[in-house]
Structure 1
Amino acid sequence: MSCRVLETPICELFECRYPILQAGMGGVARARLAAAVSNAGALGCLGMVRESPEFIREQVHKVRSLTERPFGVNLIPSATDPVQFHAELDECIRLRVPVMSFFWSVATDAIKKAKDAGCIVIYQVGNAEDAVLAEEAGADVIVAQGFEAGGHVHGTVGSLVLIQDVCDAVSVPVVASGGFSSGRSLVAAIALGAQGIQVGTAFVATEESFAHLMHKQRIVDSQASDTLYTDAFAINWPPGSPVRVLRSEETVELESQPLGHLPDEAARQQVAEEGGRPIYLMSTDSPLQSMTGDLHRLAMYAGQVTGQIKQVASAASVVQRMVDEARQVLSNLRIQ
């Protein structure tokens, strides 16, 4: 039996059963994962940063062949050439993608264009000031990403404080991100004022994820203390774009100076390839199933929540585990 506490307004907005969003992780989040998450009752999302309109079209069609449920597409304006970004967004609009998700610096023109086309717009931010800017530009939902998050991290404040700050700053629904992979964390996010959670690391380590198996297993084998916050994996992104990755042999020399690295100063040393495309050491590329080479040298993104992920499982089982645990926590609290 469902608990009304979990039936937050974003469930109606996104036409999903549970207030759980899958993060739009570039490369990792392709059609199979997005469809599996949506079929499980949450909101799946394609991570299409710097992908061609043709590839976006292929992936959207594939999602629709696998699910009838709503889904989103994630794009990142500030990390994409402007001409390519607008081509990506135009294709999403042409395909009538129901939900558009954006990240990093607030691009007000992207919000307006997506809203004018009838899309629901999610904007992920790392501070309350950007949350206000995104709301003023027309965003329907704000994702507040705490410092604990894996992948690119835009803010410097932990989720416990950030979620409350953002909820106080805006009137649109807020979704908590960064350190959320359990039913306990879902209940905590709602208690802090959020209407749901966005989950990244736990979905990387799923059967449907396009991450390389090595990356998935490293997440399972790691603990919260095994991550590093650094801007050294910088090639392909603007300067000053820190990430959280799993520690590896490549990060040992970064321990003493994790920050202050610039993309233009990084040597282009090829360590892998994907369909003839060179993959460079210290790029923002993470190991994917389509890559070959020294994949263990690439950025293996993971949040501090990695220690709570015990096995590679199906996306449906991850969603159901979170929901079941949340219901049990609420039952123990005698909240109905």
Structure 2
Amino acid sequence: MGKAWNQTRVAEILGIEYPIIQGPLGGFSSQRLAAAVSNFGGLGSFGAHGLERGAISDIIAEIRSLTVKPFAMNLWVSMEDDGARTSDAAAFQRAASHLAPYISEVGGSQPSHSPYKPIRFEAQARILLDAKVPAFSFIYGIPPAEILEEAKRQGMVTLGTATTVDEATALEQAGVDIVVASGFEAGGHRGSFQQSSEDSLTGTISLVPQTVDAVSIPVVAAGGIADARGIIAALALGAEGVQMGTVFLATEDSGAHPLHREAILTGKARPTALTRGFTGRLARGIKNNLLDVMNQPGTEILPYPLQRALMRNLAIPAQKAGRADLLALWAGQSASLAHEIDVNELLKSLVTGVAARYKNCAGEGFK
């Protein structure tokens, strides 16, 4: 008798019932969503990369008040791009000029330049280590050896994102426990760290089996997985778990604005496109008026995170005005498959759907 589909090394290492990981969702995370996924038996995640230390501590405490199950906190190893500390007021004004008419259109105030205040990854990681979170996931690089070593001493599971096979190999060599192989279909940011994101656009169906063959640690598939069929496909490719973002972003418990969730659930998320215009780093979102404007030739883009901060000056008034066409709406290429607004119903449909299809496959593709 073969193993059940959910009895994988990923589930065993993380101490979860189902090897389904909720994508960290960056600024659209919520404590309720992370806890709900963990309580069901998956791994809830919270993206904390843009937060100060005190806020991260409070979030960890709140998640722990909502669940006793394992959960993950996610950080970005690389917190700024070249030029972030030297970018000046003139560059700011040039970048802001592309947004000025739209900010006026929705009744917002024009932004002014202010000094950049960096947030250090090491300081954020220290909060996670001190709090002894169950799982520590990260993108855009590999943490320093001393951080990974302390995490291992404390029994924290580490999950690193790779967008290429070479990045996956580097993560394994650094001692990371699980590698998340992220195909270019995924919504949000491309977490590439060895080459540019534009040179690291491998699809999930190609990236996952090559990564499985290249490393001995468990592989989690991410990118374009939105239903039970996607999970079955990932398992057949050799993955031992999946990470799903857009379908969780569409649920009521996520931190996404209602306009964002509506765009996903009503099929307006087709097509999606890649852009640096929303934050300064390459990311996938719904193709709308704002994305087209930011992708126009000659549009000046500030280094990350300066561009991200600039775009907030449009986001807040655009939300108040109900203008989804002027919002950065993150979504993956399979967003049109997202239909559930209740996170527990979503998870039930995934688990029951996979179980039924797994039986039909007789387990042959999952050994």
Q: Secondary structure at the match of 2:120?
A: helix
Post-superposition Cα deviations, 1:29-70, rounded to whole Å, max 9, x if no partner, equal 221110000011100011101211111111111111111101
Larger radius of gyration: 2
Query: Does residue 114 of structure 2 align to residue 99 of structure 1?
Result: no
Query: Does residue 137 of structure 2 align to residue 137 of structure 1?
Result: no
Query: Does residue 305 of structure 2 align to residue 307 of structure 1?
Result: no
Partner of 1:170: 215
Q: 1:128 aligns with which of 151, 165, 168?
A: 165
Alignment of 1:1-336 (within 5 A): 4-79=4-79, 84-109=120-145, 110-153=147-190, 154=192, 155-222=200-267, 225-235=270-280, 241-254=281-294, 262-264=301-303, 279-281=312-314, 296=324, 297-311=326-340, 313-335=341-363
Q: Conserved in 1, the CA contact under 8 Å of 2:209 and 2:238? A: yes
Post-superposition Cα deviations, 1:101-160, rounded to whole Å, max 9, x if no partner, equal 010123343433433443110001100111111111110000000010000023301000
Matched length: 316
Residues 139, 266 of structure 1: CA spacing in aligned structure 2 closer, same or farther, 3 A cutoff? closer
Whole-angstrom CA distance in 2 between matches of 1:51 and 1:96: 18
Whole-angstrom CA distance in 2 between matches of 1:6 and 1:147: 25
Q: Conserved in 2, the CA contact under 8 Å of 1:230 and 1:242? A: yes
Amino acid at match of 1:231: R
Whole-angstrom CA distance in 2 between matches of 1:114 and 1:82: 24
Shift of 1:324: 0.8
User: What root-mean-square deviation, in Å, do the aligned CA atoms of Structure 1 and Structure 2 show?
Assistant: 2.9
Whole-angstrom CA distance in 1 between matches of 2:303 and 2:134: 37
Q: Conserved in 2, the CA contact under 8 Å of 1:28 and 1:209? A: yes
Where do 5+ consecutive residues of structure 2 fail to align?
Answer: 81-116, 193-199
Whole-angstrom CA distance in 1 between matches of 2:245 and 2:23: 5
Whole-angstrom CA distance in 1 between matches of 2:164 and 2:144: 16
Whole-angstrom CA distance in 1 between matches of 2:327 and 2:269: 19
Post-superposition Cα deviations, 1:81-114, rounded to whole Å, max 9, x if no partner, equal 8763222111111111010001012334343343
Q: Secondary structure at the match of 1:263?
A: coil
Name whichever structure is richer in strand by fraction: 1
Shift of 1:166: 0.9
Shift of 1:207: 1.3
Q: Conserved in 1, the CA contact under 8 Å of 2:181 and 2:219? A: yes
Residues 70, 271 of structure 1: CA spacing in aligned structure 2 closer, same or farther, 3 A cutoff? same
Higher relative contact order (CA 8 A, sep 6+): 2
Where do 5+ consecutive residues of structure 1 fail to align?
Answer: 236-240, 273-278
Whole-angstrom CA distance in 2 between matches of 1:318 and 1:223: 20
Amino acid at match of 2:286: L
Q: TM-score, normalised by structure 2?
A: 0.78
Q: Conserved in 2, the CA contact under 8 Å of 1:150 and 1:304? A: yes
Amino acid at match of 2:171: A
Identity of aligned residues (%): 31
Q: Conserved in 1, the CA contact under 8 Å of 2:279 and 2:304? A: no
Shift of 1:268: 7.3
